[in-house]
Chains A and B, each alone.
Chain A
Amino acid sequence: MNPETPAFKANARAALSDPQLQSALSGLPTGLVAQRTSARARLPEFEALRDIGRDVRNHALEYLDLYLETYERNATAAGAVVHWAETGQDAREIIARICQDAGARIVTKGKSMISEEIALNVDLEARGFEVVETDLGEYIIQNRLETPSHIIAPAIHLTQQQVEDDFRKLHTHLPAGRILEEPAQLVAEARSVLREKFMLADVGITGANFLIAETGSSIIVTNEGNGDLTQSLARVHIVLASIDKVLPTLEDVTTVLRLLARSATGQEFTTYATFSTGPRRPEDPDGPDAYHVVLLDNGRAELLGSEFREVLRCIRCGACMNHCPVYNAVGGHAYGWVYPGPIGAVMTPALIGVKAGGHLPNASTFCGRCEAVCPMKIPLPKLMRHWREAEFEQGHTPTRYRYGLKTWAWFAKRPRTYHFCARFAAAVLGALGSGAGRFSRLPFASGWTRDRDFPAPQGRTFQQLWAETRRGVPR
């Protein structure tokens, strides 16, 4: 996927004037946000659990090499073939080769953000495979040739009406007069269509919410059961996971899962939590004949040794974007790459560079709501600020802005001059704005005054009045 992040401003503007998108987004506060709030209230130890979850992830990252090796050893012992991929290109080659060797025609997929990150579908389709997304939201957007606008609710930018229209266009083999008014009817229709694909699939690809070192297992959590069918009905199951997904023990996984569902959807637990350890054993009633795991770095090792390390604790719950006022205003596609919202503002510059991704960490008021809800307590505003520092140091900050900052800093570092000039500014602006009490237009602040008035200064600075009176009531 080609990053559109440099066009963030234009994309945001378009998103703000898209009534369907705005209608779809308006459900977030009463939906995922309210559900999380209620789930948190039902679990008194939720805040303590966040500390434990953070520590579990920190420990796993501290000894990542050890746990990855343990995972590989135990997975291999269970019959898995473990592949190491440094880049997205490496991972795509490995996966394509497995599909080719299996003589595959149809490839089903469970929901996987890492596969979005490496644009896997486009690559497999170019090689002649039919790729079918089986998560309902992913299925919907795949047919629209779109990318996910949210990491757990990929079609959240769409209204129910849009989905109905799409299904009528797409599923022409079904009766035209059928009723599709309820979400359940849409789900049932998608399920019937997807069921055939599950049965025909040669290869099933899933991501992994976590890899478990002590057992060599991977786990996915879903609410639709599509992941189970993807990985157990095809002859070959491929797990694609980034290297930061490993946790030491099953106990650690259950701890983190208690946070994941509550933070994501407000559920105590997802409907399905599916563990897979190697291919089908002789005594197993079903399962794949072959089981591959592709462990992808794609920049994680570098992040691990950097000031951005804490972002690797992310468990992809989406709470940061659900609670982000910027995401709520513009939706996920405006961000222009795979990961939207606050987590995207930190991950995107890491993966595509701060020059291309620089808008995202800048487009934040640092309101801190993301950090306040992050189950892993990732200091997202701090990490966004680090990207702004990198941008400034590398000279990517826009020239006009840099110049303005420099001028302001010159004054701010000279208190006497600053106070003298502030008096002048307050006097001039105060005189011009007296009466109305505000400016509806200011030439040097047109970004502000286009949509709102600028309050007029009272006319004299505090320092000036304080110096005159030394204290107390100035008038």
Chain B
Amino acid sequence: MSPGQSARPGRPRVGLFVTCLVDLIRPSVGFAAVTLIERSGCDVDVPTGQTCCGQPAYNSGDQATAREIALQTIRAFDGFDYVVAPSGSCAGMLRSHYPALFKGDAVLESEARAFAAKVYELISFLVDVRGMTSVGSRFAGRVTYHDSCSGLRELGIKDQPRRLLASMPGVELSEMAEAEICCGFGGTFAIKYPDISNAMVDKKCASIAASGADLVLAGDLGCLMNMAGKLVRDGRPVRCRHVAEVLADELSDPPIAWPDKAVGEGSA
């Protein structure tokens, strides 16, 4: 089946922007996203012409490379009704920043704008576009939700994941203090300024621990890797998962940075 042609008539065709971190580190998040998008009444395909959204170049000031990658992404998703990413950061890049990259080139800028108009972060897509109010899975546990910066401030994602979690019997949401404050990941920031990044994730982990939750959820794998890496290093018994994994009941893999053995969490 080729892009643009629905397998089932009337169902929108969604191209999944996998994101480089999900592709490399945690493919289970990608499959959870596929499950959820399909449950919302869409067909999903995954173009192989995609790699990364280009933020490492864009945020390092290398606009030329960012433009090349942006164009590659835009062309890879030609013909889809929607482009959905399980990341507020990457979706924000595709949606808000791609058009800005081509400012001054009328043809490419309008191509980038048309593309950007189709792009959504996963949870925002499910709730805001597909009108999903319930995910139809269960999960037993006390969770807390970290608002990743780009999703929150660039795309206005705040209530959507909480609404879907509230639809799941057994989920108890225990909000942490300062859920909206950055975890200190920031892409290359964590590598370039490790001392400051560490101080930030340290504060974040203290807030998480104080919430009393035993599972942290978020919509961005970068933030989750940072928080999970710090929590396990400090020996805090709090697990981390992408929110899509819980919503889709894709829990067969261990939590992020967690040992590969049965953990008996959230048995449904």
Given contacts A369-B153, A405-B56, whether A458 and B194 have CB atoms under 8 Å apart is no
* Cα(A401)–Cα(B256), bound, Å: 28
Q: For A79, list chain B residues within 8 Å (CB).
A: none
Q: For B189, list chain A residues within 8 Å (CB).
A: 363-365
| Complex contact B18–A409 (CB within 8 A) | no
| Complex contact B149–A12 (CB within 8 A) | no
- Shortest C-beta distance, B64 to chain A (Å), equals 9
- Among A365, A445, A455, A471, the residue within 8 A (CB) of B34 is A471
- Shortest C-beta distance, A402 to chain B (Å), equals 8
Q: For B230, list chain A residues within 8 Å (CB).
A: 451-453
| Complex contact A451–B194 (CB within 8 A) | yes
Q: For A472, list chain B residues within 8 Å (CB).
A: 31, 34
| Complex contact A419–B58 (CB within 8 A) | no
| Complex contact B196–A369 (CB within 8 A) | no
* Cα(A464)–Cα(B46), bound, Å: 11
| Complex contact A366–B186 (CB within 8 A) | yes
State which size class the interface on B falls in.
35 or more
Given contacts A437-B260, A452-B233, whether A369 and B182 have CB atoms under 8 Å apart is yes
Q: Mark B235-264, 1 if CB is under 8 A from A, else 0.
A: 000000000000000001110111110000
* Cα(A373)–Cα(B199), bound, Å: 22
- Among A408, A413, A475, the residue within 8 A (CB) of B72 is A413
* Cα(A395)–Cα(B180), bound, Å: 35
Q: For B62, list chain A residues within 8 Å (CB).
A: 392, 405, 409
A45 contacts B by Cβ under 8 Å: no
* Cα(A412)–Cα(B66), bound, Å: 10
Given contacts A412-B54, A434-B260, A458-B253, whether A463 and B61 have CB atoms under 8 Å apart is no
* Cα(A303)–Cα(B150), bound, Å: 28
- Shortest C-beta distance, B79 to chain A (Å), equals 17
Q: For A408, list chain B residues within 8 Å (CB).
A: 56
Given contacts A452-B226, A466-B46, whether A435 and B60 have CB atoms under 8 Å apart is no
| Complex contact A325–B150 (CB within 8 A) | no
Pick the most buried of A329, A389, A454: most chain B CB atoms within 10 A of its CB.
A329
| Complex contact B229–A435 (CB within 8 A) | no
A119 contacts B by Cβ under 8 Å: no
A418 contacts B by Cβ under 8 Å: yes
- Among B22, B60, B191, B199, the residue within 8 A (CB) of A445 is B191
Q: For A436, list chain B residues within 8 Å (CB).
A: 259-260
B9 contacts A by Cβ under 8 Å: no
A456 contacts B by Cβ under 8 Å: yes
Q: For A453, list chain B residues within 8 Å (CB).
A: 228-230, 232-233, 257
| Complex contact A457–B257 (CB within 8 A) | no
* Cα(A453)–Cα(B62), bound, Å: 29
* Cα(A460)–Cα(B26), bound, Å: 9
- Shortest C-beta distance, B87 to chain A (Å), equals 13
Pick the most buried of A367, A388, A472: most chain B CB atoms within 10 A of its CB.
A367
B179 contacts A by Cβ under 8 Å: no
- Shortest C-beta distance, A405 to chain B (Å), equals 6
Given contacts A413-B72, A415-B50, whether A12 and B195 have CB atoms under 8 Å apart is yes
| Complex contact B60–A401 (CB within 8 A) | yes
Select from chain B the residue with minimum beta-carbon distance to A423. Answer: B24
Interface residues of A in 29-45 (CB under 8 A from B): 29
Q: Mark B1-14, 1 if CB is under 8 A from A, else 0.
A: 00000000000000
- Shortest C-beta distance, B72 to chain A (Å), equals 7
Interface residues of A in 355-369 (CB under 8 A from B): 362-369
| Complex contact B229–A438 (CB within 8 A) | yes
Select from chain B the residue with minimum beta-carbon distance to A362. Answer: B192
* Cα(A412)–Cα(B56), bound, Å: 10
* Cα(A249)–Cα(B247), bound, Å: 55
* Cα(A134)–Cα(B49), bound, Å: 64
* Cα(A475)–Cα(B28), bound, Å: 10
Given contacts A369-B182, A405-B60, A445-B191, whether A455 and B256 have CB atoms under 8 Å apart is yes
Q: For B60, list chain A residues within 8 Å (CB).
A: 388, 392, 397, 401, 405
* Cα(A390)–Cα(B24), bound, Å: 32
- Shortest C-beta distance, A28 to chain B (Å), equals 12
Known: A401-B192, A453-B228. 4 other contacts (CB 8 A): A368-B154, A440-B233, A455-B225, A455-B256
Q: Give 5 nearest A-B pairs by CB, closest first.
A: A365-B186, A392-B61, A388-B61, A452-B229, A462-B27
28 contacts between A and B (CB under 8 A): A9-B193, A12-B196, A13-B195, A16-B196, A365-B189, A367-B149, A367-B153, A367-B186, A372-B153, A389-B63, A397-B60, A409-B65, A412-B20, A412-B52, A412-B65, A415-B48, A418-B51, A438-B257, A438-B258, A447-B190, A447-B191, A448-B194, A453-B229, A461-B27, A462-B31, A471-B34, A471-B44, A474-B31
